[in-house]
């Protein structure tokens, strides 16, 4: 068996990007930016007011207060999107709305709340400094600056910035199509009548959701029985996808045929079995440049294996940083004893308490207890050969 880090290195060394495509920004949410975005304009493109009020010369408000207001003559009224043709002269003001271009001669804005307006006269009841309540040219984004770097996973703010730059179409990485194949004579679909000895197909839905959450397209290839020829045929039907995930059939049982089937169709096995718990019977292979991930059939094992091994690979296929995890230091809030030397990934609830993160396990840690994943927001990592974790010990944890 190899370590988790060794397995991940092997996987990432064999993963290639899937290419790029141009898309409309309204369809780009969750996509990975394929090219740097630089600005061809200043944002804002002109000095503008950040408040409703009066554009003034700051020096004309010197000493103004509630008890001793300054009186200015209002020479114009402008709204957002309109530019005043008038210039603010000494002891003059122009009524202005938020977002309006600052008129010539003015250098500050007095908020409406600090004034008393009477037709052509405004009484200024607060002194302002130069540039106060003014958004300066390029304050948000400067012309020629790098705004969004290649590899960024596009979120709502990203799309807003792209729109402000006039970028209606952008280059993003293609979303990998990931085939999902569930093996096992005991597996039935979730809406079939329950039969003793059978198990409903929860893995297909959990793994499909993980694939979609990563930003890829899940392609459900259904359930295949524990038969070598049937698995070989199903694998061949997955050649239209960029990656293949199988679930179940990778252990050492008499009816575990995935490894044999992969080899039979010409796949090159890179590793089989990892020093991790849950998730020891993990397989990784390359077939016609398509990565194959053979995940264990236990529901927790498959989900944890996806998070630790498959997700980074899919992220790399999309061109985003694949080895960056949301990893923190946390204090374990209870003892945990194990006689298994493998690296453990414990399902836990992690919270910020006081000035530190604290983690509590979500109950029994068996690989078939899917509820332990339902309750978890993190995976606490116990290094290899850790026989006992004591309450109060510090460990790394991956926030889910």
pLDDT in tens, 243-302: 999 999 998 888 899 999 999 999 999 999 999 999 999 999 999 999 999 999 999 999
Q: Which of 278, 294, 317 is the last residue of a domain?
A: 317
Residue 324 reports pLDDT greater than 70: no
Looking at the fold, whether 118 and 195 belong to one and the same domain comes out as no
Bridge partners of 284?
271, 293
Which of the four pLDDT bands, split at 50, 70 and 90, describes residue 322?
low
Here the tokens at position 312 are 């980074």
Q: Percent of the chain at pLDDT above 90?
A: 92
> Does residue 322 belong to any structural domain of this protein?
no
Q: Which of 273, 288, 317 is the last residue of a domain?
A: 317
At 227-238, the pLDDT tens digits run 999 999 999 999
Domain CATH for 382: 2.40.340.10
Looking at the fold, whether 156 and 31 belong to one and the same domain comes out as yes
| Plot region of 224 (φ>0 → left; ψ -120 to 50 → alpha; else → beta) | beta
Q: What is the pTM of this model?
A: 0.85
Q: Which of 317, 340, 372 is the last residue of a domain?
A: 317
Who wins on pLDDT, 128 or 195?
Answer: 128
Antiparallel, parallel or unpaired: β 177-183 and 53-56: unpaired
> Does residue 310 belong to any structural domain of this protein?
yes
Q: What is the 3-state secondary structure (H, E, C) of the chain?
A: CECHHHHHHHHHHCCCCCCEEEEEHHHCCCCEECCCEECCCCECCCCEECCCEEEECHHHHCCCCCCCCEEEEEEEECCCCCCCCCCCCCCEEEEECCCCECCCCCCEEEEHHHEEEECCEEEECCCCCCCCCEECCCCCECCCCEEECCCCECCHHHHHHHHHCCCCEEEEECCCEEEEEEECCCEECCCCCCCCCCEECHHHHHHHHHHHHCCCEEEEEEEECCCHHHHHHHHHCCCCCCEEEEECCCCCCCCCCHHHHHHHCCCEEEEECECEECCCCCEEEEECCEEEEEECCCHHHHHHHHHHHHHHHHHHHCCCCCCCCCEEEEEECCCEECCCCCEEEEEEEEEEECCEEEEEECCCCCCCCCHHHHCCCEEEEECCCCCEECCCCEEEEEEC
Mean pLDDT of 63-73: 97
Looking at the fold, whether 85 and 163 belong to one and the same domain comes out as no
> Does residue 141 belong to any structural domain of this protein?
no
Looking at the fold, whether 187 and 295 belong to one and the same domain comes out as yes
Which of the four pLDDT bands, split at 50, 70 and 90, describes residue 323?
low
Rounded-to-integer distance, Cα 380 and Cα 383, Å? 10
């Amino acid at each position: 068996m190899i370590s988790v880090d060794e397995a991940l290195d092997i996987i990432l060394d064999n993963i290639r990007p899937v290419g790029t495509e141009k898309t409309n920004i309204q369809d780009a949410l969750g996509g990975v930016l394929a090219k740097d975005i630089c600005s061809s304009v200043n944002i804002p493109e002109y000095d503008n007011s950040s408040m409703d009020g009066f554009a003034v010369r700051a020096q004309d408000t010197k000493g103004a207060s509630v008890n001793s207001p300054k009186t200015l003559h209002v020479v114009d009224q402008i709204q957002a999107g309109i530019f005043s043709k008038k210039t603010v002269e000494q002891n003059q003001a122009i009524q202005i709305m938020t977002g309006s271009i600052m008129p010539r001669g003015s250098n500050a804005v007095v908020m409406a709340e600090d004034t008393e307006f009477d037709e052509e006269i405004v009484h200024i009841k607060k002194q302002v400094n130069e540039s106060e309540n003014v958004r300066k040219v390029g304050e948000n984004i400067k012309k020629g600056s790098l705004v969004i770097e290649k590899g960024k996973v596009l979120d709502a703010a990203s799309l807003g910035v792209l729109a402000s730059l006039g970028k209606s179409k952008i280059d993003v990485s293609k979303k990998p199509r990931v085939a999902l194949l569930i093996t096992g004579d005991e597996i039935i679909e979730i809406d079939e009548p329950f039969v003793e000895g059978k198990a409903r197909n929860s893995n297909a839905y959990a793994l499909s959701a993980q694939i979609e959450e990563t930003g890829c397209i899940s392609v459900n290839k259904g359930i295949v029985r524990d038969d070598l020829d049937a698995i070989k045929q199903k694998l061949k039907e997955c050649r239209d996808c960029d990656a293949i995930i199988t679930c179940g059939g990778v252990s050492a049982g008499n009816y575990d045929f995935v490894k044999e089937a992969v080899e039979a169709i010409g796949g090159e096995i890179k590793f089989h079995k990892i020093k991790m718990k849950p998730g020891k019977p993990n397989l990784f292979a390359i077939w016609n440049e398509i990565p194959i991930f053979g995940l264990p059939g236990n529901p927790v094992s498959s989900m944890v294996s996806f998070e630790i091994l498959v997700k980074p690979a899919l992220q790399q296929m999309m061109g985003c940083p694949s080895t960056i995890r949301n990893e923190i230091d946390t204090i374990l809030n209870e003892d945990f004893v194990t006689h298994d030397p493998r690296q453990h990934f414990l399902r836990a609830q992690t919270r910020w308490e006081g000035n530190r993160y604290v983690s509590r396990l979500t109950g029994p840690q068996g690989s078939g207890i899917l509820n332990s994943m339902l309750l978890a927001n993190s995976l606490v990592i116990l290094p290899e050969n850790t026989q006992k974790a004591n309450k109060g010990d510090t460990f790394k944890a991956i926030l889910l």
